[in-house]
Structure 1
Amino acid sequence: MIQLSRSCIIVFIMVSSASLISLMYCTYNGYLTHFDYTALRAFYQLKSVILNHFFLTITWLGSLWILLPLSIAMLIFLPYRFKNFKIVFAVGFLSTIVVTHTLKNSVERPRPSFFDTLIDMPLDFSFPSAHTAQITAFTFLVWVLFFRESSLKSILFSSILLLIAMTVASSRIYLQVHFLTDVLAGFLVAILCCFTALLTIKSN
């Protein structure tokens, strides 16, 4: 498991917290509405049959229907020597889910309605994106487990994980079910929760 200093973890927590609070404030007050509209329009103009099928498929990687069984399997089958990672993973991933849905019901932001969607509009609120938060938390925590410094395989593996997370996040905008700021908030929630989980291990 990758080793990060306590001070480095605290810096990430502070930066992600401040960024998330700022984003919530700007979103709640409508300061980024034009920014969100521009992003949705740009993705809408990219529509094609191939991209439709691609993003309709890839977006499932951010669903709990996929990630929860994978997470449970990982916690069960990883050897006992990874017990610290199991704690970090469980705390980081579960807190990401809880915080995301708590914010959804607190902010109560309606879903986008500028352009036609490719799927039925989800019934819950828009901010932040749960798919983005969940896939970000999952891929980040897997990265924490497997990353080894100065290893070509680790760098390649990290790039693949990053690409997966970014593609799932992009799919939510392409499908017109989330604003760009929802996706950014989902990313920040995941980073905040995962680094907080790492800090709990450092504290103990």
Structure 2
Amino acid sequence: MIDRRTLIVAALAAPAGWCPLRAQTGMSRITAYAFSFPALAGGDIRLADHAGHPLLIVNTASLCGFTPQYAGLQQLWTEFHDRGLVIIGVPSNDFGGQEPGGETEIAETAQHQYGVTFPIAAKAVVKGPNAHPFYRWAAEARPKDVPRWNFHKYLIGRNGYIADVFPESVEPTDTRIKTAIARTLTAA
């Protein structure tokens, strides 16, 4: 969901004739900070609340062979959160029906089995025309880097744009991810 305040600020700050939903260059000027996710436990996870901080957005699933990556994501959270990194897990049933449960089952897996303390969104669609607006925005920005399975990772830079993308096969604690995170944390 697009945060209306962010959209209004972007429109007012934009040059005359510029449309924040469709820039004249054909590329969206909306940043990731314009979106929010319903939180697993209620309320919203507003990305605008983390403006200026790097984000790692990961579509997750409880019954996937990659589900143990929750532990690596928690390690990243522990290592980089105090420096400004925000990780958000986005449960999705889009790939192999591997997130069939509801809030209780998702919380059981993420928080109780893997000790996750970073924010977890409510279950969302992450691919196709019914995808959550964040995922449609990301697919427009990086059409060759869309999620193909659970635990696909989008690293959003401090500027709110996609800095890097890592497929499900790249473990969260992989040097490539840690290096990219460190780079986004030191970027102006």
The TM-score with structure 1 as length reference comes to: 0.27
More strand by share: 2
The TM-score with structure 2 as length reference comes to: 0.28
More helix by share: 1
